[in-house]
Amino acid sequence: MANYTNLMNSSWYGEISNSNISDIKESILRSKTEQDVILQLVELFKLGDFTQKALLIHLLNHSEDEAVLIFVFGYFAQFVPMKI
């Protein structure tokens, strides 16, 4: 996985990217791995652009890379309230 220093395993997800939305979308198109796509999607979502949600769902449904699935579920599971 690429070295991204602004991803943390907590409720703080790093600084908002200095890139604009179109640059991030271009980076998604140039990404060579699913892991890079996921990290770019996270940056896009942090900027408030959820137009690529369908791509995230497609990756979740079709990825065979276990690391990608673990990362995505771990990342987004923090937003789901748990009933005990």
Residue 4 inside a domain? The answer is no
Taken as a whole, the chain contains a residue count of 84
- Structural domain total, the chain: 1
Residue 13 inside a domain? The answer is no
Is a pLDDT exceeding 50 seen at residue 7? no
**Geometric angle at alpha carbon 51, from 14 and 33, rounded to 5°:** 65
pLDDT per residue as tens digits for the range 57-78: 998 899 888 888 888 777 766 6
Residue 57 inside a domain? The answer is yes
Owning domain of residue 63? 21-77
Residue 9 inside a domain? The answer is no
* pTM, to two decimals: 0.71
Residue 3 inside a domain? The answer is no
Residue 46 inside a domain? The answer is yes
CA 65 → CA 1, 9, 34, 46, distances in Å?
A: 12, 20, 8, 23
